[in-house]
A and B are shown apart, each in its own frame.
Chain A
Amino acid sequence: MAKFIVRRLLSAILTLFVVATLTFFLMNMIPGGPFNTERATQKQIAALEKKYDLDKPLFEQYLTYMGKLVRFDLGDSFKRLGYPVNKIIGEKFPVSAQLGVVAILLSVIIGIPAGTYAAFKRNKPIDRVLMFVTTLGMAVPNFVMATLMLVLFGVTLGWLPTLGLSSWKHFIMPAVALSLNPMCYIARLMRSSMLDVLGQDYIKTARAKGLPERKVLFKHALKNSIVPIISYLGPLTAGILTGGFVVEKIFTIPGMGKFFVESISNQDYPLVMGVTVFYAALLILMNLIVDLVYGVVDPRIKYE
């Protein structure tokens, strides 16, 4: 087990190295530079580029960057002068993560029982209603949902605050908007996985033993059918924790989402690198956690 984790962490470092290298060179292949969009003279641009070492050969820049990266220094943002990328991520990630955790809990807490129930009531009206609603929920993009809620509950009815995250009430709309798609997906995934498991012989055994249906479903079937959900939760968590760009924009939440998009359109090299490497690291971590959870759920999975 410990050996497994160590090996996975070593391979994670390699992965991060590849991600950083690829991003670095791809980013530099994009025409233009971070300072081109400013209303600056050629001279000023040249001066800025000199200040940030952009006049040096690309490979040298790469070595310098990687040298800093191994010391966990992501450099300073070009656009917010003097603002270290570490600090941006350090400040913005907790905001997105807070919202993300609420959204994930919401999708799991509602998605799993809904899917289980639909499977249990297969082809009955309630199942069809649930499947219709979840299809709809997956088809509606979260910004549409966010906007609709904003107009209805925020403006027309005035029940919920519309910007920021200063109280639990502020979390409701953005969390619901963020969780809608994954929640519906989890419900559908759970239903199909559950249907598969409910057809297994050991479920018949459990019923033949006289166990109540509650125990058949939530003990014998759930533990077996939850594996696909766990696989899905890994990348989902990484994605949602780092912030939903549009949803954060709509509700004016000072999260990380907007830095993903803005850093690229601004060609803010250190910030692009920073958020990419950070996201990659989070994704790798989540996948490692998923693999460890598999072992808890299914004793047949062994780590070597």
Chain B
Amino acid sequence: MSGELLKIDDLHVSFFTPAGEVKAVNGISYTLEHGKVLGIVGESGSGKSVSANALMQLIPYPGRVTEGQITFDEQDILGMPIQDMRKLRGKEIGMIFQDPMTSLNPVFTIGNQLVETLMQHTDMTKAQAFERGVEMLKLVGINNPEQRMKQYPYEFSGGMRQRAMIAMTLSCEPKLLIADEPTTALDVTIQAQILELIKELKDKINSAIILITHDLGIISDLCDEVIVMYAGRIVEKGSIDDIFYRTAHPYTQGLLRCLPRLDSDDKDPLIPIEGTPVDLVALPDGCAFASRCEKCLKLCLKHQPELMQINEGHTSACWLHAIEKQEVGA
């Protein structure tokens, strides 16, 4: 299956706190095709999770979407009544969260939580749903699934819980899976297993995936396209190769310099990005990254750069590209 599954257009999300309006997402747009994997990368507070939560109308209090449009499978998500939204949640769009230790309800069995999802969205009887649950647990590599269904989350290890969570999320075969930092809370070895599992299941269930992470390392293997976010805006968007080898935006370059490389000398230091993220209550007029950017120009402080095309499918929001282009043109 191909074609457009999800289209986000100029999405703005703000949190209305006593300290002022926190502009968490400031006009992001992207599209996602059926069966494709999109990575969203950014540091804490860059708006990556909030923008994904908006897809399910799940922005926590006191936040709300202030502007923009989300179209999923030709349906308008933001204008949709909550009853209709609930029919999409869990069935058409599934979501996995960061910390499997807290994202499963501690006082209900794994089976109960799995069966509940299935019974909500299908006409299955309890016995059928239980069967399907067992199947799903087997699919995600949990041994003794029948017995495991009757256990509580505290009887599972972290990696096993995340597997159970994935089983639950995929049990209704959603068209879109949102994985919000699915491996951040796990051990490195378990991280690799979970990513491997997601990759494997992606082909079996054929759903599109939005993979949210702050770790560039984990997306390289999985994603078709990558979005880099900073201060609620998309600063760079492109294929894996664009992002890793034809890096355009100074922020992405900075992120890549923070990653250890296999081909580097042991003595090469990792270079951190200096400074702290911007205050989302008082965003600057110009580029939000300007104060931390090595290549900052006067122009950057006053005017916000728009996304500019670098190559086919590769865009970046930096004035340097405009200047380069002019120079080439001139």
Contacts and interface: CB of A to CB of B under 8 A. Distances in A.
Contact of A224 (B60, B87, B99, B106): B106
Interface in A179-222: 199-202, 204-212, 215, 219-220
A299 B107 contact: yes
Given A202-B104, A298-B107, A209 B116 contact: yes
A271 to B, nearest CB: 45
Given A201-B97, A297-B107, A209 B168 contact: yes
A142 to B, nearest CB: 34
A271 B120 CA distance: 60
Given A201-B103, A299-B107, A208 B120 contact: no
Contact of A300 (B90, B91, B154, B168): B154
Contacts of A211: 86, 90, 116-117, 120
A80 interface: no
Interface string B94-125: 11011100111111100000001100110000
Contacts of B61: 122
B121 A205 contact: no
A299 B99 CA distance: 20
B120 A299 contact: no
B90 A209 contact: yes
A87 interface: no
Name which of A205, A207, A297 has the most chain B CB atoms within 10 A of its CB: A205
B89 A224 contact: no
B99 to A, nearest CB: 6
Main secondary structure of the interface of A (DSSP, over half): helix
Given A210-B88, A210-B89, A299-B154, A205 B103 contact: yes
A22 B103 CA distance: 50
A50 interface: no
B152 interface: yes
A224 B90 contact: no
A223 interface: yes
Interface in A7-55: none
Given A209-B116, A209-B168, A210-B121, A202 B106 contact: yes
A223 B99 contact: no
Interface string B151-177: 010100000000001001000000000
A201 B102 contact: yes
Contacts of A212: 86
Nearest to B85: A210
Name which of A199, A204, A215, A220 has the most chain B CB atoms within 10 A of its CB: A204
A220 to B, nearest CB: 5
Contacts of B98: 201
B228 interface: no
A129 to B, nearest CB: 19
A201 B99 contact: yes
Given A208-B90, A210-B88, A299-B152, A202 B120 contact: no
B105 A202 contact: yes
Contact of A208 (B95, B105, B116): B95
Contacts of A210: 86-91, 117, 120-121
A202 B103 contact: yes
B41 interface: no
B80 interface: no
A224 B102 CA distance: 13
A192 to B, nearest CB: 16
B86 A298 contact: no
Contacts of A219: 108
Closest 7 CB pairs of A and B: A210-B90, A210-B89, A209-B90, A202-B105, A201-B102, A201-B103, A208-B95
Interface of A: 122, 199-202, 204-212, 215, 219-220, 223-224, 297-300
30 contacts: A200-B102, A201-B97, A202-B102, A202-B104, A204-B58, A204-B97, A204-B103, A205-B95, A205-B97, A205-B105, A207-B58, A207-B89, A208-B58, A208-B95, A209-B90, A209-B116, A209-B120, A210-B87, A211-B116, A211-B117, A211-B120, A219-B108, A224-B105, A224-B106, A297-B107, A298-B106, A299-B106, A299-B107, A299-B154, A300-B152
Given A210-B117, A211-B117, A300-B107, 8 more contacts: A204-B58, A205-B104, A210-B88, A219-B108, A223-B107, A298-B106, A298-B107, A299-B106
